[in-house]
Structure 1
Amino acid sequence: MLQLISTAVTDRGARGIAVAVSQLIHSGELAPGARLPTVRDLARELGTSPTTVSEAWSSLTRAGLIATRGRSGTIVLSGERLRARLRYSHMSGLLGGAAQDLSTGVPDHDLLPDLTDTLRRLGDMRLTTSYLDDPVLPALEEHLRASLPYPADQLIVVDGALDALDRTIGVVVRFGERVLVENPTFPPILDLLEQTGADPVGLPMDSSGIVPEALAEALRREVPVAVVLQPRAQNPTGVSMSAQRAAQLAEVLSGYPDVIIVEDDHAAGIASAPVVSLGVHLPHRTVHIRSFAKSLGPDLRLAAVIGPAQVISPLADRRLLGPGWSSRLLQNVLLDLLTAPSTAALLEQARSEYARRRAALLQILAQQGITATADDGINLWLEVADQQAALVSLAANAIAVAPGTPFEVTPLATAHLRVTAGLVREGFDELGKLLADAARAGGPERASSRLNRGLPRGPR
């Protein structure tokens, strides 16, 4: 085992050791359940310090590849154990098959467009007949470029927001590198970063987005390779970044020219806030992802990605070795929907209805003295005294919500739940009171101070 690892290590720094062991695990040369050498034994074999090996082991542990089992030593994890570590797998809370499942974060089906007319129109069209056609429909690219927030070197269409994030992270981030993210943030973002072996660092937010002073401090400590953020209807808080805040963050980042900005505009179409992007100020360093699942349907697995050629070109080239392109049939569906006047009217109705639902719940919670945020989108971020007690309280009433812990990069000052407010059509008074009871369950009156100070309390 020592010989196998020492032969694979070409860079004896912590990141080099972690990369080599990661490659051995992914290749199968280090099998699930294999017991790794002790830190001291490997340090002696490599001629480096135990601290360096320990840092490598910490990186591999964060990536979910290994785990320390006390006296049993450090072992390689199996696929099942890796899945159990994913934050995404812990978002469903306590209750399966709930009468009212508000844990999902999905849009209301009745506020999505009917595809019948679109599919009928496409049925009479001559669609793609060749593998050699452009990966992106020229008419769709033209329409997307006209609606995206800034001109960019390149545009590509991929299979949804998470596919875009996965592919972008694969180009930008290497094992052991730091990436700044919002705290809290969408759990799959953290899963993707941790599976890559990156070191995510959480930044506090207020009602306008990431706090600029916190970003500046994180950059001074150690320059990261990227910042990943959600500019509108941030999941889970619902915060939408203001144009002024985007300018402030861009000013802070202007002194760090090698940091790539990755924006996940997952709520495009249903977000009430206007389009905002740091790419307006830093276009040659910003990757902007716009997906359409929330507004046009979860099965419309498409996202537009614009950004600098240094990121988009290798992303597109690597994709040629896999799917090659996103279904041009779906691209035609997307183009038809985006250009149909009926879609614009439906999206306006959906934005208004989601805003009504959020406001109704926030008002009742505020009347009950409960702190929650839900400025935009479909989610509500509820502060609770005790997460487990709150989940149990709601489960007793056949209500499922998502626990807040998977969304946290590092622990927040208080516990939270994420509630999909966009799925609540009626019964706001009753649900609001049940949420308030759950928020108070398991503890005394909650303290008003929070780590992410400044998040709005109740409706604004």
Structure 2
Amino acid sequence: MRQLLSMLEERLEEPTSRALATAVSRAVAEGALAPGTKLPPIRTVATELALSPTTVSAAWGLLARSGIVATDGRRGTTVLDSRSPDGRRYRQALEKPAALARDLSTGVPDESLLPTLTGVISSLDRAGSPSSYLEDPVLPELAALLRADWPYAPERHSVVDGAMDALDLVTRALLRFGDRVVVEHPCFPPLLDLLEALSVEVVGVPVDEEGLDPEGLADALRAPVVAVFLQPRAQNPTGVTMSPERARALADLLADTRTLVIEDDSVHGLSPSPALSLGTWLPDRTIHIRSYSKSHGPDLRLAALSGPDDLLRAVDARRHLGQGWSSRLLQRILVALLTDERAVAQVTDARTEYLRRRQAVVDELAAREVVVGGAEGMNIWVPVLDEAAAIVRLASQGIGVSAGAPYAVLPTTGDHIRVTVGLVAEGHAELADEIARAAHTTAWGARAR
């Protein structure tokens, strides 16, 4: 402790809270204070550095708001890993042995199934300008469309730059160091990377064919849980859509808690299932996120979210420190796409086509004794005997798939790969042949069973 205090004293240029915060920041940046280091109690620092406890407390507050330390009551103040998140799981999920002719690892929509902008762009005469940088983040015309088509009646809507932007803003605004959160197992890797960067405790609960397992959630709730993260439809990677009965059961379990529900519905417009949200029963604690990337184009960079007024105001306040708002020009394009008859018909056709492509591959795999669960979405979650062997074997045939391990939260119950079959317009039997051979391969070089 004496060495740590001497290190801070060397870097302290004046007896102010800002100078002390700067000294700690400099020590962290230089590697002298490693992530996980416990800082001495406020009174100890004050005594040793001849500062008032108020000054030290204010410095710790500045550092906490900057994400450099986390304060946790009697457990003290801890230095965080303030480096940028490295997206380790996400990169691992998308790694491929080489450039491949057919990349089915990405999870992106088929560009040919996106609605065309013909007529939409020509109807927009200018970009426009906000009257204030603090005005409502949602274009009024878009807000009206959202209210008419939302799965429950929330207090407030906002618009951000895609689902991951929404998750990033929500988690950074509402979660703190050491908070316990529940996620689905398997889970979308970027969300796990994001939560890991925030140093929260992640608790995995399995997903079955109706959604998050109620017994697993009940076990997790034996200790305080700050938030539960759900994908109500076409869960990524499994393709499971939550049943209304399961949603109600989960809401009942959460009713007597203070746990937040954060929902990511990334397939709106492309799902044949009605929109579903625990906000129907828990509107005061539910944040529901709807992305338009899959249905209308990833480059629109738009997602809508809803929630109680106090929570979304916290999210909006954090956003004003960064990008401020989502382009109203892009919002106007989205409004046009949501109301243009031709665009609406194109999205409807895309929904039918994605279902056809998925079901065609699933049926062909079943005929080859490879059973795939889930009901919808662009991806399938394929059980394999050896994940690494399956990936390499498919790569040898020019096919790229996503590794299953980065999606795992709990100890694995078997190897899997994720395949984006939404990109496969034809040749489903041939693709199923290759996937089945890979699924039955026990080691690279071994014969398929």
Does residue 88 of the first structure (1) align with residue 86 of the second (2)?
Answer: no
Q: CA deviation at 1:354?
A: 0.7
Q: CA deviation at 1:367?
A: 1.1
Name the counterpart of 2:101: 99
Matches within 5 A, 1:263-282: 263-282=263-282
TM-score for the superposition, normalised by structure 2: 0.82
Q: CA deviation at 1:281?
A: 0.7
Name the counterpart of 1:30: 28
Name the counterpart of 2:415: 415
Matches within 5 A, 1:282-431: 282-431=282-431
Contact in 1 for aligned 2:8/2:24 (Cα 8 Å): no
Name the counterpart of 1:237: 238
Name the counterpart of 1:69: none
Counterpart of 2:150 (choices 148, 167, 188) is 148
Rounded Cα–Cα distance in structure 2 between residues aligned with 1:230 and 1:136 = 23
Rounded Cα–Cα distance in structure 2 between residues aligned with 1:227 and 1:3 = 40
TM-score for the superposition, normalised by structure 1: 0.80
C-alpha offsets along residues 292-337 of structure 1, whole Å, 9 cap, x if unaligned?
Answer: 0000001010111100122101111222222221100001001111
Contact in 1 for aligned 2:229/2:262 (Cα 8 Å): yes
Residue 163 of structure 2 aligns with an amino acid whose one-letter code is A
C-alpha offsets along residues 347-400 of structure 1, whole Å, 9 cap, x if unaligned?
Answer: 211111111111111111111111322411101101111111011100100110
C-alpha offsets along residues 199-251 of structure 1, whole Å, 9 cap, x if unaligned?
Answer: 1111011101001111111101x111000110011100010111111101000
Q: CA deviation at 1:139?
A: 1.2
Residue 106 of structure 2 aligns with an amino acid whose one-letter code is T
Q: CA deviation at 1:36?
A: 4.6
C-alpha offsets along residues 172-222 of structure 1, whole Å, 9 cap, x if unaligned?
Answer: 2100111000000111111111111111111011101001111111101x1
Rounded Cα–Cα distance in structure 2 between residues aligned with 1:214 and 1:79 = 33
Does residue 168 of the first structure (1) align with residue 170 of the second (2)?
Answer: yes
Amino-acid identity (%): 45
Rounded Cα–Cα distance in structure 2 between residues aligned with 1:76 and 1:33 = 12
Contact in 2 for aligned 1:93/1:391 (Cα 8 Å): no
**Structure 2 gap segments, 5+ residues each:** 10-20, 45-66, 70-78
Rounded Cα–Cα distance in structure 2 between residues aligned with 1:26 and 1:374 = 50
Contact in 2 for aligned 1:33/1:78 (Cα 8 Å): no
Residue 29 of structure 1 aligns with an amino acid whose one-letter code is A
Counterpart of 2:195 (choices 193, 196, 199) is 193
Aligned pair in 2 of structure 1 residues 197, 39: CA closer, same or farther (>3 Å)?
Answer: closer
Q: CA deviation at 1:77?
A: 7.4
Q: List structure 1 runs of 4+ shifted beyond 4 angstroms.
A: 4-7, 23-26, 32-43, 75-80, 443-446
Contact in 2 for aligned 1:34/1:76 (Cα 8 Å): no
Matches within 5 A, 1:13-52: 27-31=25-29, 33-34=31-32, 36=34
Q: CA deviation at 1:97?
A: 2.5
Contact in 1 for aligned 2:183/2:230 (Cα 8 Å): yes
Aligned pair in 2 of structure 1 residues 109, 25: CA closer, same or farther (>3 Å)?
Answer: farther
SS of the residue corresponding to residue 305 of structure 2 reads: strand
Rounded Cα–Cα distance in structure 2 between residues aligned with 1:393 and 1:25 = 53
Name the counterpart of 2:439: 439
Contact in 1 for aligned 2:403/2:417 (Cα 8 Å): yes
Name the counterpart of 2:216: 214
Contact in 2 for aligned 1:385/1:445 (Cα 8 Å): no
Name the counterpart of 1:10: none
Contact in 1 for aligned 2:266/2:291 (Cα 8 Å): yes
Aligned pair in 2 of structure 1 residues 37, 419: CA closer, same or farther (>3 Å)?
Answer: closer
SS of the residue corresponding to residue 298 of structure 2 reads: coil
Contact in 1 for aligned 2:114/2:296 (Cα 8 Å): yes
Residue 238 of structure 1 aligns with an amino acid whose one-letter code is G
Rounded Cα–Cα distance in structure 1 between residues aligned with 2:385 and 2:276 = 34
Rounded Cα–Cα distance in structure 1 between residues aligned with 2:24 and 2:266 = 31
Aligned pair in 2 of structure 1 residues 40, 380: CA closer, same or farther (>3 Å)?
Answer: closer
- Aligned pair count reads 401
SS of the residue corresponding to residue 325 of structure 2 reads: coil
Contact in 1 for aligned 2:36/2:80 (Cα 8 Å): no
Matches within 5 A, 1:47-126: 83=86, 86-123=88-125
* Backbone CA RMSD of aligned residues: 3.1
Name the counterpart of 1:250: 251
Contact in 1 for aligned 2:36/2:81 (Cα 8 Å): no
Aligned pair in 2 of structure 1 residues 198, 76: CA closer, same or farther (>3 Å)?
Answer: closer
Residue 109 of structure 1 aligns with an amino acid whose one-letter code is E
Rounded Cα–Cα distance in structure 1 between residues aligned with 2:325 and 2:283 = 25
C-alpha offsets along residues 131-190 of structure 1, whole Å, 9 cap, x if unaligned?
Answer: 455422111111111111111111111111001001111122100111000000111111
Name the counterpart of 2:59: none
Rounded Cα–Cα distance in structure 1 between residues aligned with 2:414 and 2:312 = 39
